[in-house]
Amino acid sequence: MGGISVTENEGNALMSTAFPRVHIVVAGIEKIIPRMSQLGLFYPLLAAHGTGQQITAYNTIFTGPKRNEEVDGPEKMYVILLDNGRTTVFDDNEAYESLACIRCGACLNACPVYKTIGGYTYNTTYSGPIGSVLTPFLKGFKDFSHLSFTSTLCGKCVEVCPVKIPLTDILLSNRRKSVEQGLRPISEKLMMKGFRMITANRGTLDLASGNLKNFVTLPLNYTAWGPKRVMPKFAKQSFSQQYKKANKESH
């Protein structure tokens, strides 16, 4: 026997399925589990990492429309299993592990980027680290590959993930795909090459004063960081220069 499992804390989902005559369920194909007995693992796993509970208050299993002897419930029930790019994710040698996500939100709560910019800025259904991993596959790398670059790769999301999805590894894989598909602008490639040449040598890096560095990075306030944040200013002297000066004065 199959069924649709709904887990919640307020009972709104249960109530909303009792009134309509037709109950339509839309779920991703990755939400299917082999046996109903496995819910004994997933219910507490989701609750513990999502809300810090041992288990949520309401856990319901719908096995079809209401029976003749039942007072309430839908007269008809339809289940739509949605692919929408999920098989593409499954076929990917690295990204397939992201389909194990149980949507607990632990990676969102741990992510420094998500905590800074919020969920609406992702402009997609799934936000946070898991959204940055999945969305390019579901909506196309051309328009959403930039999400895989909105990460510090600190690894906090991997630490808290209850199903141990290697999110940082998949983010790096997505970035590589973006470059291989030629989706990164030429200006970015030239800028990164110049950045590598300058920062690879301490002497070259110290040739420019703090004022010059601030002037060069000024456009980043408007193009990369946006108008809501301010780029930190460089000091007049680099740490290396300050250290040498202080060390010289102490002797």
* Within a domain: 133: yes
State whether 70 and 95 are in the same domain: no
153, 180, 207: which is the final residue of a domain?
Answer: 180
Tell me how far apart the alpha carbons of residues 60 and 25 are, in angstroms, rounded to a whole number.
14
For residue 8, give its domain range. 4-82
State whether 124 and 167 are in the same domain: yes
State whether 72 and 127 are in the same domain: no
Residue 128 has pLDDT above 90, yes or no: yes
* Within a domain: 154: yes
State whether 78 and 90 are in the same domain: no
CB 129 within 8 A of CB 107: yes
State whether 65 and 116 are in the same domain: no
* Biggest distance spanned by C-alpha atoms of the chain: 94
Global pTM value: 0.75
CATH number of the domain to which 127 belongs? 1.10.1060.10
* Within a domain: 189: no
pLDDT tens profile 9-66: 999 998 999 899 999 999 999 999 999 999 999 999 999 999 899 999 999 999 999 9
Core vs surface per residue 7-20: b (16+ CB within 10 A) or e: beeeeeeeeebeee
State whether 28 and 63 are in the same domain: yes
When divided into structural domains, the chain yields a total of 3
Q: Which residues contact 101 (CB under 8 A, 6 or more apart)?
A: 30, 130, 134, 163, 165
Q: Which two tokens stand for residue 245?
A: 């000066």
The residue among 28, 133, 15 whose CA lies nearest residue 74 is 15
* Within a domain: 242: yes
212 alpha-carbon distance from chain centroid:
36
Of 163 and 237, the one with more pLDDT:
163
* Within a domain: 191: no
Q: How is residue 214 annotated by DSSP?
A: H
CB 162 within 8 A of CB 118: no
22, 48, 82: which is the final residue of a domain?
Answer: 82
Tell me how far apart the alpha carbons of residues 135 and 120 are, in angstroms, rounded to a whole number.
14
State whether 104 and 129 are in the same domain: yes
12 alpha-carbon distance from chain centroid:
27
State whether 63 and 13 are in the same domain: yes
pLDDT tens profile 157-202: 999 999 999 999 999 999 999 988 888 888 878 888 888 888 888 8
pLDDT of residue 71: 86
State whether 92 and 170 are in the same domain: yes
